[in-house]
Amino acid sequence: MSDDYRSMWADLGLDLAAHDMLLGVLGEAYGKMYLTQANRPAGMSYFDFVMSEVHGLRIKELIDEKKAGRKIIGSYCVFVPEEIVLAANATLVGLCSGADFAMEEVERLLPRNTCALIKSAFGFKLGKVCPYLESADMIVGENTCDGKKKAYESLAQLVDNLYVMDLPQVKSDKGRDLLKAEYQRFQKAVEELTGSPITVASLQQAIRTVNAKRAAIHRLSTLRKADPAPISGMDALLVNQVFFYDNPARFTDAVNKICDELEQRMKAKSGVFPTKNPRVIVAGCPQAVPNWKLPMLVETAGAVIVGEESCVGERGTRNLTDEAGNSVDELLDNIVDRYFQIDCAIFTPNRDRLHHILEMIEKYQADGVIHYGLQFCQPYLMEALPIEKVLAEKGVPCLRIETDYSMEDIGQLKTRIEAFVEQLS
């Protein structure tokens, strides 16, 4: 990394030694897991570049935006509406989680049996290694699960710009009313932060921008139906991860370009795996950068991941927002309607999520499902059992996995996953 980046990181207050260690581990893991894949689409070079500069050039772009008067808003959840952020002349970025860092310090603030994702988010803050977090003018937390709800009370002592959004837990008229009230409150907070009132024109443009980004991901997802698979599940996951960091217009263009390439591969019946390889859906908890352990194990075992039923996957991107409306309130209603369809495990009951998994199995002609649960993530771990039961009744093999971000269980997981893939063959 250039001296300019080190100066930038120092200005952000990062621990340079710890950050160097993080980037070294991340770069080594990325090289071993991603760059060794055979027959990768040429278009993945863009996403390789993004990952090589995810703490460098992208952060410099955000700093330059801030110097030009634009605000940066960081988020941990797909319920935070990017449309509202863009419409108020701000940029939304995902915040760091997906690896263990500074765990001893974290466990002085949080119980050891706290969800791995929550502990990771705290570790990146306490370890001073997340430039996105330190660049943000507003950090948006959200009351999804009880763990996050209580953890944000502690995070508020570590940062001075935390905004917490309440979320409904039941899909009802009252639940929708709560979500709209929270989005109206968020709109007001963002407008106050930026000094830019949201207008019909700015909100319509923001909706179009985000819709285009999601539509590009939808296009990529549709191409994964093909056999042989034109792109690996690991690379498709990477594209979904970059979704949360990159400039929206540039990202949309890059995804559409790789889709053009994949369509040519499909015409030539060229894929990254042989035909008739076992096809797997991964369902459950989100897989944030650099959490690549599971897909690496699945695809080196001889299966291909053809879809992610995850916040970093279809749960976060599958629905578009209606662009029609003559007032900000009408457009906000459209945004509420779109986000209220997210089938997060916080909802009770949550039949929509099971229906979504069954729909994905049929759409992608999947042979089996791996349900991925992070340790101590109660909502998804509890939903795993009834989902497994229904899949068994329908004759769909399902492997339940509970893990964290460490590599300590990789041998055990490898054995279980290889046996599952053999079962599907």
pLDDT tens profile 170-209? 999 999 999 999 999 999 999 999 999 999 999 999 999 9
The half-sphere exposure of 8 on its side-chain side, counting CA atoms within 13 A, is 19
d(CA 267, CA 172): 45
pLDDT grade for 3, boundaries at 50, 70 and 90: low
Q: Is residue 346's pLDDT more than 50?
A: yes
Q: What distance, in Å, lies between the first and last C-alpha atoms of the chain? A: 44
Residue with tokens 């309607």: 337
317 Cβ neighbours under 8 A, 6+ residues apart: 214, 217, 218, 240, 243
pLDDT digits over 108-131, tens only? 999 999 999 999 999 999 999 999
Instruction: State the Cα torsion 152-104-409-40 to the nearest 10°.
Output: 70
Q: What is the mean pLDDT of residues 154-166?
A: 97
Residue 120 near residue 98 (C-beta atoms within 8 A): yes
Using DSSP, state whether 307 is helix, strand or coil: strand
- 214-220 CB contacts, 8 Å cutoff, 24+ apart: 214/317, 214/318, 214/319, 214/320, 215/320, 216/251, 216/252, 216/255, 216/256, 216/259, 217/243, 217/255, 217/317, 218/317, 218/318, 219/255, 219/256, 219/259, 220/255, 220/258, 220/259, 220/262
- Under the banding of pLDDT at 50, 70 and 90, the label for residue 96 is confident
Sign of the dihedral defined by the CA atoms of residues 258, 263, 268, 272, in that order:
positive
Query: What pLDDT was estimated at residue 1?
Result: 47
Closest-CA residue to 222 (of 278, 299, 306): 306
The per-residue pLDDT for 4 is: 80
Task: Say what the pLDDT of residue 2 is.
Answer: 56
Question: Each residue of 305-343: pLDDT tens digit?
Answer: 999 999 999 999 999 999 999 999 999 999 999 999 999
Q: What mean pLDDT comes out for the span 391-418?
A: 97
- Indicate whether 253 pLDDT > 50: yes
Sheet-wide strand order for 368-374: 304-309, 279-284, 368-374, 398-403
| CATH architecture, domain defined by 205-319+345-424 | 3-Layer(aba) Sandwich (3.40)
Entry pTM: 0.96
pLDDT averaged over the chain?
Answer: 96
Burial of 340 (0-12, 13-18, 19+ CB in 10 A): middle
Decide if 331 contacts 200 (C-beta within 8 A).
Answer: yes
CB 119 within 8 A of CB 405: no
Residues 6+ apart with CB under 8 A from 236: 220, 221, 224, 305, 308
Q: Is the pLDDT of residue 271 over 90?
A: yes
Q: What proportion of the chain, given as a percentage, has pLDDT over 70? A: 99
- Residue range 6-28: average pLDDT? 96
Q: What is the pLDDT of residue 392?
A: 97
Cβ of 45: how many Cβ atoms within 10 Å?
Answer: 12
46 near 254, Cβ under 8 Å?
yes
CA angle 298, 300, 302 (to 5 degrees): 75
Q: Dihedral (C-alpha) 373, 379, 381, 385: value to the nearest 10 degrees?
A: -130
- Return the pLDDT at 209: 98
d(CA 211, CA 209): 6
Q: Alpha-carbon torsion 377, 97, 118, 179, what sign?
A: negative
The amino acid sitting at 270 is S
Asked whether the predicted pLDDT for residue 31 surpasses 50, the reply is yes
Distance between CA atoms of residues 60 and 372, nearest Å: 34
| Residue 79 scores a pLDDT above 90 | yes
Q: What percent of the chain has pLDDT over 90?
A: 98
Sorted by where each begins, the domain ranges of the chain are: 205-319+345-424
Residue 236, judged by CB atoms within 10 A of its CB (0-12, 13-18, 19+), counts as buried
H/E stretch holding 165:
strand 162-166
pLDDT given at position 154 = 96
Beta strand 279-284 with 304-309 is parallel
**DSSP annotation string for 93-157:** EEPP-SS--SHHHHTTTS-TTS-HHHHHHHHHHHTT--HHHHH-SEEEEEE-SHHHHHHHHHHTT
